Amino acid sequence: DTAVSQTPKYLVTQMGNDKSIKCEQNLGHDTMYWYKQDSKKFLKIMFSYNNKELIINETVPNRFSPKSPDKAHLNLHINSLELGDSAVYFCASTTTGKGGELFFGEGSRLTVL
């Protein structure tokens, strides 16, 4: 009965590969996010979708492509992985009435070798 679930939890891959991370929430929320946490624990927003529509698109390399097939799912595909992409990627969700409070998944730790 996990509220926000991400897969995979760990991902180790070589430079130049393409990989995807999936996120699903069963909270009935209408807004989902991807955040990146770097090695210094700093959290930076990458993307946000509201009812499948992209509403926040930060300055992120276009090798990163989010997709939201429905409001309960948000995936992140990364092409041509680079060493600097190594980080923990967090999915989060919220909805109207939560005052901006986000509910986070447990994170997906990506290591690029």
Partner 1 sequence: AQSVTQLGSHVSVSEGALVLLRCNYSSSVPPYLFWYVQYPNQGLQLLLKYTSAATLVKGINGFEAEFKKSETSFHLTKPSAHMSDAAEYFCAVSDGTSGSRLTFGEGTQLTVNP
Which residues of this protein are in contact with partner 1, per CB under 8 A?
4, 30-31, 33, 40-43, 45, 48, 50, 55-56, 90, 92, 94-107
| Alpha-carbon Rg for the chain in angstroms | 13
Closest approach of partner 1 to the CB of residue 15, in Å:
24
Q: Please say which residue, 80 or 98, places its beta carbon nearer to partner 1.
A: 98
* Least separation in angstroms between CB 94 and partner 1: 6
Largest CA distance in the chain: 42
DSSP letter, residue 111: E
Tally Cβ neighbours within 10 Å of residue 42. 9
Smallest separation, CB 28 to partner 1 (Å): 13
51: region left, alpha or beta (phi > 0 left; psi from -120 to 50 alpha): left
Nearer Cβ to partner 1, position 15 or 26? 26
| Closer residue to partner 1 in complex, CB, 15/55 | 55
Which position has the token pair 């509403």? 55
The answer to whether residues 81 and 13 touch, using CB atoms and an 8 Å cutoff, is yes
| Closer Cβ to partner 1, 48 or 75, answer by number | 48
CB of 108 to partner 1, least distance (A): 10
